[in-house]
Structure 1
Amino acid sequence: MAEVTVSLDAELVVEVMVMAGVGSPQDAVELVVRDYIARGHRTEALVAEHEATARDVEVKPEAQQG
């Protein structure tokens, strides 16, 4: 797999390391990126499920009044 080098603010990386509970800046940033991607996939799945459910619901016309 290809690798990319990115420069980040040290304070930002240290905060991520503390929050993630890891001792390596590389591991911390990788965890954040993987979590972001996983959340995106879960959101896409929920939206697709919601749209499918909405299509399956039959809308009944209201009875005419008058």
Structure 2
Amino acid sequence: MAKVTVSLDAELVVEVMVLAGVGTPQDAVELVVRDYIARGHRTEALVADREGAVRDVEIKPEAQQG
């Protein structure tokens, strides 16, 4: 896989390292990016499930009032 080099604020990276509980900046940033991607996939799946459920609902005509 291709590698990319990114410059980030050191305080930001240290905070991510502490929150993620990892010892290297590379691992911390990689965890954050992987989590962000996974969260996006979960959101897409939830939206697809909800849209599918809406399509599956049978629309019943209202009873005529007389």
Pairwise TM-score range, normalised by the shorter structure: over 0.9
Q: How many residues align?
A: 66
Aligned residue number for residue 17 of structure 1: 17
Give me the whole-angstrom Cα distance separating, in 2, the residues matched to 1:33 and 1:64: 56
1:4-46: per-residue Cα shift (whole Å, max 9, x none)?
Answer: 0000000100000000000100000000000000000011111
Inter-partner Cα distance in structure 2 for 1:45 and 1:7: 32
Compute the TM-score of the two structures, normalised by the length of structure 1: 0.94
Task: Detail structure 1 runs of 4+ shifted over 3 Å in the superposition.
Answer: none
Root mean square deviation of aligned Cα: 0.8
What TM-score, normalized by structure 2, do the two folds share? 0.94
> Percent of aligned positions with the same letter in both sequences?
86
In structure 2, distance between residues paired with 1:4 and 1:25: 14
Query: Cα offset for 1:64?
Result: 2.6
Equivalent in the alignment of 1:30: 30
